[in-house]
Amino acid sequence: MRPRLPSYDHFSVAVGLLVAGVAVTILPWLTLVSLDVVGGLALVVALGVWVVLEQIPEQVNAALDNYLYALPPVLAVGLVALFVGESVGIDRVLPDSLHLPLLGLLVLCGLVGETGRRRRARVVSERESMHALVTVTESRWFAVAISVVGSLLGYAIISVAFGEAFSPWRLAFLAGASVVGAVIGTLFQGRETNQLAVLDGGLLVRTESGRPVTVVPWWQVRRVDVTDGTVRIRRGLPFPTTYYSEFSEREEAKRVVDAIRRCQRRT
């Protein structure tokens, strides 16, 4: 097999950075090498992983089809639990010297998950046929919940990483500010508009400009119904939300619902 010239693929780069981050975190505990040497080795590791992944794009895409990109975010949930536990004083299991490196790994795990999700969406959009395309908006409650949870977890993690004292009053203030900010943002900007493409394997979520974001498999689609020209698509765990699409004619809405249900029955 002839070597390929590596391209700037976000997922390959993110995986390389994550592996290098793990090396930077672990090596100082295993050896007595200086930080300069560790940094140099981490750079070599990041470049090596990136180049290797670019040589086997088909195998990488197959791994993405098996949701392996979700492993780092799942591991990150464990790190978040440790940070939250320390922030509220439940237990202290992490040495202070590991707080900042683990915070960096937490960010990189999220980066791998997000770039892997988007790459899989792009690959699936190129591989599968599209049976229908609708413009949708999401439930406001989902945006508010994401904003509140993200703010609270972010505060807990940063307070531990930088050695700040945990304050329940500040936590309550952040929760309230997140709700108010999300509501005001929705009122002034309106709901975010996306596209849903009906594919054989699920629903492809795209930005308004048509860029693939994620694939919602059929097992996550809990319910699809139409009422007076409004199509409602309810998505289940792990990211529950509801997509709404308005049609001027009920028959047009019914055709979209029929296409969704037809593809669901094939799986």
| Residue-level length of the chain | 267
- What digits encode the pLDDT tens for the residues 118-158? 999 999 999 998 998 999 988 777 767 776 776 666 666 66
> Residue 200 gets which letter from DSSP?
S
Could you tell me how far CA 68 lies from the centroid of its own chain?
Answer: 13
pLDDT at residue 190 is higher than 60: no
E-state strands within 56-158: 130-138
pTM: 0.79
- What digits encode the pLDDT tens for the residues 85-100? 666 555 566 666 677 7
Longest dimension (CA), the chain: 71
d(CA 175, CA 167): 13
Domain boundaries, the chain: 10-127, 130-138+193-266, 141-189
d(CA 120, CA 72): 16
E-state strands within 6-159: 130-138
d(CA 259, CA 95): 54
In CATH terms, the fold of domain 130-138+193-266 is: PH-domain like (2.30.29)
Q: Which pLDDT band, with edges at 50, 70 and 90, does 78 fall under?
A: confident
Q: How far apart, in Å, are the Cα atoms of 100 and each of 21, 40, 94? A: 11, 19, 11
